[in-house]
Amino acid sequence: MLTSPSPEGSVDPRQTPDADPSSAPASPPGGSRYMIMIVSGLLALGLGLGAAALPVPYVVESAGPTFNTLGQDGDKQVITISGRESFPAKGNLDLTTVVMTGGPKSPATIFDVFRAWLDKSKAIYPEELIYPKGTTAEQTVQQGEIAMETSQENAVAAALRELDIPFEQRLTVAGLSDASPSAGKVQDGDRLVSINGKPVTSMSVIQTELSAGAGAPATVVVERNGSVVTETVTPTKNSNDRYVLGVLLSSDFTFPFDVKISLDNVGGPSAGMMFALGIVDSLTPGDMTGGKHVAGTGTITADGAVGAIGGIAQKMIGARDHGATMFLAPAANCADVVGHVPDGLQVVKVETLADATTAVERLGSGKDTSSLPTCTNN
């Protein structure tokens, strides 16, 4: 506060120890009480702010950036093909992301959760629904990187299979499920050679044979430590009503040319389908999109099956905000799509890479896209 100078020759009694007390200005009534109240209020405010900054066991999910699989991430091309002719493509095939606030990497605060509660474009989840208890930040990063690497390999395989370009896929047993019908017959490290006499060149071969057999015993041939072993396994049904051998399989691919995918600071498997679409477009003359702006999400298997992902409501918002007019959504996510589609965005339901390719080609050729499958309440 600024004060006026004292009149010439006068003395400010508050500055002079031997001044006459009677000349000092009177203190306001209850001044000490007011000071205590002010100090108490400031302390309460400080405690409140401190408490609000403490981590809470929630995760806030919001729309993240999008990346054009036909374009660049910084100064690097997202998809680079060497050893085979490729074709620069125009338009956008955007993969979509979400930003997660909370969990082991970046704990959420009360402020974060309160702001998200006021913002309908964001979602709030209990932390244990997203991250298993005890998961560390390092484990989260590592799991995301592994999932991303696997999705990229599957994307290359799915794209080549879509284009009928041959490659080699070896399926190796990585473990057995609980109460597996293959227990005692198939071991970790076994490479599947054939089933019912059909060479195992992909997962779909196994699924087709088991489905055709409708639960009948299957003849399974594996390679184990350089030797061929033949076993008979009676499949069981899983929770999806499919016949299975009860084995966990890992894939090892040998491709006829190199496909490199460069994308920093993005983890997880949900970009698989869009990577595969970008590879298909890059290996095909012309522009699949016709210069249009398409976005999407979904996991991909080497056989081209599109799987469910998380955060699709936020991803649709991110897609629309970055200019997309069509969004490709996994059929398995339809329950999360209905009622959350942003204005101006057409959402197409896809189950396979072939479905996604058909939708993009129809849009790119200027044909009517209103008949493409969409998510409904039914």
pLDDT tens string 142-157: 788 888 888 999 999 9
DSSP state of 200: -
Give me the pLDDT at residue 59, please. Answer: 87
Distance CA 271, CA 232 (A): 38
| Tens digit of each residue's pLDDT (9 = 90 or more) over 270-318 | 999 999 999 999 999 999 999 999 999 999 999 999 999 999 999 999 9
pLDDT at 77 over 70: yes
Is 124 in contact with 117 (CB distance < 8 Å)? Answer: yes
pLDDT at 81 over 70: yes
| Tens digit of each residue's pLDDT (9 = 90 or more) over 245-269 | 999 888 889 999 999 999 888 888 9
pLDDT band at 193 (very low <50, low <70, confident <90, very high): very high
Place of tokens 């400031």: 42
318 CB burial (10 A radius; 0-12, 13-18, 19+): buried
pTM attached to this predicted model = 0.79
SS3 track for 240-294: CCCEECCEEEEEEEECCCEEEECCCCCCCCCCHHHHHHHHHHHCCCCCCCCCCEE
Distance CA 259, CA 255 (A): 9
| Tens digit of each residue's pLDDT (9 = 90 or more) over 3-43 | 334 333 333 333 333 334 344 444 445 556 666 666 666 56
Is 266 in contact with 67 (CB distance < 8 Å)? Answer: yes
321 CB burial (10 A radius; 0-12, 13-18, 19+): middle
Give me the pLDDT at residue 130, please. Answer: 82
Give me the pLDDT at residue 202, please. Answer: 84
Give me the pLDDT at residue 19, please. Answer: 37
The length of the chain is: 378
Distance CA 323, CA 318 (A): 9
Q: What percent of the chain has pLDDT over 70?
A: 85
Give me the pLDDT at residue 52, please. Answer: 55
Range 152-167 average pLDDT: 95
Domains of the chain in sequence order: 63-99+141-164+255-364 (3.30.230.10), 168-254 (2.30.42.10)
pLDDT at 207 over 70: yes
Is 158 in contact with 300 (CB distance < 8 Å)? Answer: yes
Q: Residue 323: left if φ>0, alpha if ψ -120 to 50, beta else—which one?
A: left
SS3 track for 150-164: HHHHHHHHHHHHHCC
Is 192 in contact with 206 (CB distance < 8 Å)? Answer: yes
Average pLDDT, rounded, for the chain = 85
Range 37-50 average pLDDT: 57
